[in-house]
Each structure stands twice: as C-alpha cells, then as structure tokens.
Amino acid sequence: MIKITTTYQVVSPESAEVGDVEDQGFHDEQGEVFKTPQEAADFITEHYAYIPSESPSDNAKWWSTDGDEDYTTGFRTYYSYHIDTDTDTLKEVNSILMGQ
C-alpha cells in the first residue's frame, strides 16, 4: 500500500521578502491510496510535481510543484505530495518518477 498526502504553501510578495510563507498546511490530510508504484508515480506526475525533496532523488519522501501563481495578487501556491510506504516501494516510486 502506498499513501500520498498533499500539503501546500502560499508565498505572497510580502512573505517572500522576509523568507517566510503566507499560509501552509494540509490540502489533503486523508490522502490517496494506491496499490502499485506506477499508480502512485502517475498521480504525482499528473499533478506536475517534478521537484524531489532531496538529492539523490531515489530517497525523496515527497515531490513538489514549482508553484501556481495568481497574477492578480502575486501569491504563489506550491503543493507537495508526500509518499508514505516502505523503503523498497518508495525507491521504486522514485525510480519511476526519475525516468519520466
């Protein structure tokens, strides 16, 4: 079983100036459950999360988007998709993501 929960961070022009975020928290705390590493990797890819939490990315515990900007306010919202599974399955999901 692979569970993926989603968090978000909102960065405003003002919060960016001081290196902080305007708002953050869970977007989907219950998460989505997947049976296979391919299904989990497809879910992350479908949400345009291409930035791994660490390098080398085979150890990444989450993948993030590069942010959606609201051009009227200047606020940018980032989403992170957190993978909860055993180590071997995590490495398999990350291997698929690195190959896409």
Q: Where are the domains of the chain?
A: 2-99
pTM for this model (two decimals) = 0.90
Query: Can you give the pLDDT of all 100 residues of the chain as single tens digits?
Result: 999 999 999 999 999 999 999 999 999 999 999 999 999 999 999 999 999 998 878 889 999 999 999 999 999 999 999 999 999 999 999 999 998 6
**Token pair 């791994």 is at which residue?**
52
Question: In the prediction, which pLDDT does 40 show?
Answer: 98
Furthest-apart CA atoms within the chain: distance in Å: 44
Cα–Cα distances in angstroms (integers) from residue 19 to residues 9, 10, 59, 69, in the given order:
12, 12, 26, 17
| Enclosing H/E stretch for 52 | strand 51-52
Question: In the prediction, which pLDDT does 100 show?
Answer: 62
